[in-house]
Amino acid sequence: METTTKVNGVAKPKTSEKIPVAAHPLAEDPTDIASNIKYHAQYSPHFSPVKFEPEQAYYAAAESVRDRLIQQWNETYLHYHKVDPKQTYYLSMEFLQGRALTNAIGNLDIQDAYASALNKLGHELEEITEQEKDMALGNGGLGRLASCFLDSMATLNLPAWGYGLRYRYGLFKQRISKAGQEEMAEDWLEKFSPWEVVRHDVVFPVRFFGHVEVLPTGSRKWVGGEVLQALAYDIPIPGYKTKNTNSLRLWEAKASAQDFNLFQFNDGQYQSAAELHARASQICAVLYPGDATEEGKLLRLKQQFFLCSASLQDIIARFKERKDGTGVRAWSEFPTKVAVQLNDTHPTLAIPELMRLLMDEEGLGWDDAWDVTSKTIAYTNHTVLPEALEKWSQVVMSKLLPRHMEIIEEIDKRFIAMIKSTRPDLESKINDIRILDHNPNKPVVRMANLCVVSGHTVNGVAQLHSDILKAELFADYVSIWPTKFQNKTNGITPRRWLKFCSPELSLIITKWLKTDKWVTNLDLLVGLREFADNPELQAEWDSAKMANKQRLVQYISRVTGESIDPNSLFDIQVKRIHEYKRQLLNILGAVYRYKKLKEMSPEERKTTTPRTIMIGGKAFATYTNAKRIVKLVSDVGAVVNTDPEVNDYLKVVFVPNYNVSVAEVLIPGSELSQHISTAGMEASGTSNMKFALNGCLIIGTLDGANVEIREEVGEDNFFLFGATADQVPQLRKDRENGLFKPDPRYEEAKQFIRSKAFGSYDYEPLLDSLEGNSGYGRGDYFLVGQDFPTYIDTQAKVDEAYKDRKRWIKMSILSTAGSGKFSSDRTISQYAKEIWNIEECPVP
């Protein structure tokens, strides 16, 4: 393993020869850790023996860290088994974990030891961590929220598990070319992931199709169809400076050897011989497969059921193995030991599946099974967008899951009977609030309604969102069950989103607060307020922000080839590309800014605030307008960035393949971030919290968690514009009635794009969505034109504020100081107390 490595461009021989090869799974001393890393390179080999390049060093280091995690993991599992506390099971179609190495050594508090150990082996920790590919198990805020929650559950010593699917190719890897966004399969499992442990003893059968048989006893059983196997892969989730290490359990779909038809294969019928294997491999291939086709819809429903069925069978098996002294356990105890949280409507099938397992497999009657189910399951709503509230075809559901369709019909029937007997005043509303929509053209199952009717608690994810749910979307249910609805404002983990991604700023915070306890008690950040005017803190703060900006400059240069000026204002909008998030408003503003700069004299330009606008995010593969927005951003960038008159004062950069690791560079380096959704449409947002925590100022509407962020950081430290949620419906009506008067600056920006100033691509269909007063895909539903004037005026205020450096830095400090509320530790302790009724269970 004797090679040379370059440090600061100078080749020096690696010292790894002097380090003995020895297993030290629980080592804390750097030399012993280095020995353990070498041991893994040699005795857990994945590569040819002569290589010890950064890639090999990464895998060996990861396996060395994993030794330590496995020890804690096993202790945690045994401790929970012994104490038998009530546990939470968090079901989510997405988990956006990000890199595990930096997070694990950070939470275990062994960064310095690992940095030193890798140095002894001739490697730099920074270079080694860069080798890790993000786990491609999610897409946006929904998945990242689930991952922040897992971090907080472990840190708070709460007995809790995450359950998801092990997607081989993720959503997609984004490439930006002349044609715009291109999608490629993610390759995070191309080699292997050192963080997962396959549990060959944890396998459950999952059935699709088939039919329902009525047994002589009158009970029912689902039989026939095709049966796949769900195999468990576990990923350790370490808490911060605690022994507790929880699990994220991911399911992989498999067919067994006996499903392989050897006769057909030898007869040359290769495809039909392995048909079930092929169908199994589709289930966990891709996150959110396109659902424009019937096959696509069926595959998505299969994925959802696969997650629910495997997870519930696992939960029931765990419940049954902890018997009381008599050797049996009453099912009425189940809700005192199990809390199941549905993260959005994707895992709704957990409701009929738990009913089926309890009745058909465990022999409970309807009333007992319903009692258990409705006390066990709770539902988090993440959206008021109608297209995101899932509705599944009754025909598809009956075919794929015949027994579940029967159960859903029975829940619906009993709900209607309950309304008729106890709330005759709501009889006229039955068709809106029942679960089944029997529209003769397209009969569907309304999943959100099923969740609300069946769950014991329903929560929104920010105060404004929860208020809208109660006042509008679920108003009738609130009148039936007034105590069922709660708010749980989202949060983010301060470990990944400040301590680890912005080490310079973290050290300054610890120095001025005289404690690092803020990492697990984020409310302590409020103590920075008393120093906000202190010139010494301001100077340190400014230099930490500059170090993060320099890191971002290098990153942008590496991935886009664009050079950006670290002294310009870094203005960033990164999130899924969606019309309601209004990246279009941002780029129209940038186009207007460019046009005004072009019209200025060189002297006038020198008085402006130089700005670098960065936009990033993935557009769903079949979402045409979102993809047009991506293309527009890169076309505008191509012109602006090469225009010698202007490019000292404005750059526009599309940052490709936005994911957690990209966010960890962008967010610390940002100074202004845009959270500009149409008011009332973003349930919460969580990147807004990450930016605010990192001392970045927000320009935004009164939407989602922006409302609460503005309250916490102070109105003077938030750049507010735009219509409010309660004004939006009337503004839409006015638009339909032809009362909207566009601002001339808005017309100017659109006209500039139409003039082909940014190339020959046809932007007419995109701009068309902003024109007309009504009609499908027209009439500016998201009020870009309505909010454009106040947006431009507020951006001018940003430019002015940025010129006053002292004022800007003070605002930045106050932004961080006001972010204490937005820790996922706070969110999760509220869920634990107010929804799950679970308590901490620290490993001794």
Query: In CATH terms, are 84-98+134-174+182-322+330-490+830-835 and 503-822 the same topology?
Result: yes
Pairing of strands 245-254, 10-13: unpaired
Residue listed under structure tokens 């750049």: 719
Q: Give the number of other CB atoms < 10 A from CB of residue 116.
A: 15
Is 496:98 a contact under the CB 8 Å cutoff? Answer: yes
Pairing of strands 245-254, 160-165: parallel
> How confident is the model at residue 2, as a pLDDT?
41
pLDDT reading at 329 higher than 90: no
Q: What angle do CA 99, 101, 106 make, to 5 degrees?
A: 110
Look up the CATH architecture of domain 503-822.
3-Layer(aba) Sandwich (3.40)
Catalytic residues: 382, 575-576, 581, 686, 690
pLDDT digits (tens, 9 = 90+) for 62-116: 999 999 999 999 999 999 999 999 999 999 999 999 999 999 999 999 999 999 9
Would you state the structure tokens that stand for residue 636, as one six-digit string?
Answer: 């505008």
pLDDT reading at 401 higher than 50: yes
**DSSP letter at 470?**
I
CA distances 580 to 289, 300, 385, 415, 584, Å, are 22, 24, 9, 34, 9
pLDDT digits (tens, 9 = 90+) for 665-711: 999 999 999 999 999 999 999 999 999 999 999 999 999 999 999 99
User: What share of the chain has pLDDT > 90, as a percent?
Assistant: 94
pLDDT digits (tens, 9 = 90+) for 655-667: 999 999 999 999 9
Q: What is the CA radius of gyration of the chain?
A: 28
Is 819:712 a contact under the CB 8 Å cutoff? Answer: yes
Residue listed under structure tokens 């009977």: 417
Rounded Cα gap, residues 486 and 834, in angstroms: 9
pLDDT digits (tens, 9 = 90+) for 246-279: 999 999 999 999 999 999 999 999 999 999 999 9
pLDDT digits (tens, 9 = 90+) for 289-304: 999 999 999 999 999 9
Rounded Cα gap, residues 761 and 70, in angstroms: 54
pLDDT digits (tens, 9 = 90+) for 187-215: 999 999 999 999 999 999 999 999 999 99
Instruction: Determine the residue type at 553.
Output: V
Compute the mean pLDDT over every residue in the chain, rounded to the nearest whole number.
95
Instruction: Determine the residue type at 338.
Output: V
pLDDT reading at 733 higher than 70: yes
Residue 800 DSSP SS3 = helix
β-partners of residue 378 are 341
**At 340, phi and psi to the nearest 5?**
-115, 125
> How confident is the model at residue 327, as a pLDDT?
64
pLDDT reading at 12 higher than 50: no
pLDDT reading at 10 higher than 80: no
Q: What angle do CA 550, 557, 610 make, to 5 degrees?
A: 60
> How confident is the model at residue 818, as a pLDDT?
98
pLDDT band at 324 (very low <50, low <70, confident <90, very high): low
pLDDT digits (tens, 9 = 90+) for 581-626: 999 999 999 999 999 999 999 999 999 999 999 999 999 999 999 9
Long-range contacts of 180-183, Cβ-Cβ distance < 8 Å, separation of 24 or more: 180/627, 180/628, 180/630, 180/631, 180/634, 181/618, 181/619, 181/627, 181/630, 181/631, 183/621
pLDDT reading at 825 higher than 90: yes
Residue 327 DSSP SS3 = coil
Q: What angle do CA 195, 63, 197 make, to 5 degrees?
A: 35
Q: What angle do CA 339, 343, 345 make, to 5 degrees?
A: 110
- Closest of 683, 515, 516 to residue 145, by C-alpha: 683
pLDDT digits (tens, 9 = 90+) for 477-519: 999 999 999 999 999 999 999 999 999 999 999 999 999 999 9
- Closest of 114, 113, 110 to residue 128, by C-alpha: 114
Q: Which uninterrupted H or E stretch holds 451? A: helix 447-454
Mean pLDDT, range 144-166, rounded to an integer: 98
pLDDT reading at 5 higher than 50: no
Mean pLDDT, range 809-816, rounded to an integer: 98
Q: What angle do CA 151, 334, 338 make, to 5 degrees?
A: 5
Is 239:843 a contact under the CB 8 Å cutoff? Answer: no
- Closest of 512, 539, 536, 537 to residue 526, by C-alpha: 512
**DSSP letter at 743?**
-
Rounded Cα gap, residues 449 and 432, in angstroms: 9
Q: Give the number of other CB atoms < 10 A from CB of residue 762.
A: 9
> How confident is the model at residue 6, as a pLDDT?
47
> How confident is the model at residue 387, as a pLDDT?
73
Map out the domains of the chain as residue ranges.
84-98+134-174+182-322+330-490+830-835, 503-822
Instruction: Determine the residue type at 214.
Output: V
Mean pLDDT, range 442-464, rounded to an integer: 97
By CB neighbour count within 10 A (0-12 exposed, 13-18 middle, 19+ buried), where does 158 fall? buried
pLDDT reading at 306 higher than 50: yes
Written as one string, the DSSP assignment of 118-154 is HHHTT--HHHHHTTPPPP----SHHHHHHHHHHHHHH
> How confident is the model at residue 489, as a pLDDT?
97
> How confident is the model at residue 388, as a pLDDT?
77
Number of H helices, E strands in the chain: 34, 24
Residue 534 DSSP SS3 = coil
CA distances 734 to 721, 745, 814, Å, are 20, 21, 39
> How confident is the model at residue 4, as a pLDDT?
46
Is 508:537 a contact under the CB 8 Å cutoff? Answer: yes
Mean pLDDT, range 51-71, rounded to an integer: 96
pLDDT band at 774 (very low <50, low <70, confident <90, very high): confident
Mean pLDDT, range 220-240, rounded to an integer: 98
From its phi and psi, is residue 367 left (phi > 0), alpha (psi between -120 and 50) or beta?
Answer: alpha
Rounded Cα gap, residues 480 and 167, in angstroms: 40
Q: Give the number of other CB atoms < 10 A from CB of residue 371.
A: 17
pLDDT band at 11 (very low <50, low <70, confident <90, very high): very low
pLDDT band at 16 (very low <50, low <70, confident <90, very high): low
pTM of the model: 0.96
Domain 84-98+134-174+182-322+330-490+830-835: which topology? Rossmann fold (3.40.50)
> How confident is the model at residue 322, as a pLDDT?
78
For 242-298, the three-class secondary structure string (H helix, E strand, C coil) is CCCEEEEEEEEEECCHHHCCHHHHHCCCHHHHCHHHHHHHHHCCCCCCCCCCHHHHH
Angle (deg, nearest 10), helices 784-803 and 805-817: 110
- Closest of 195, 12, 4 to residue 98, by C-alpha: 195
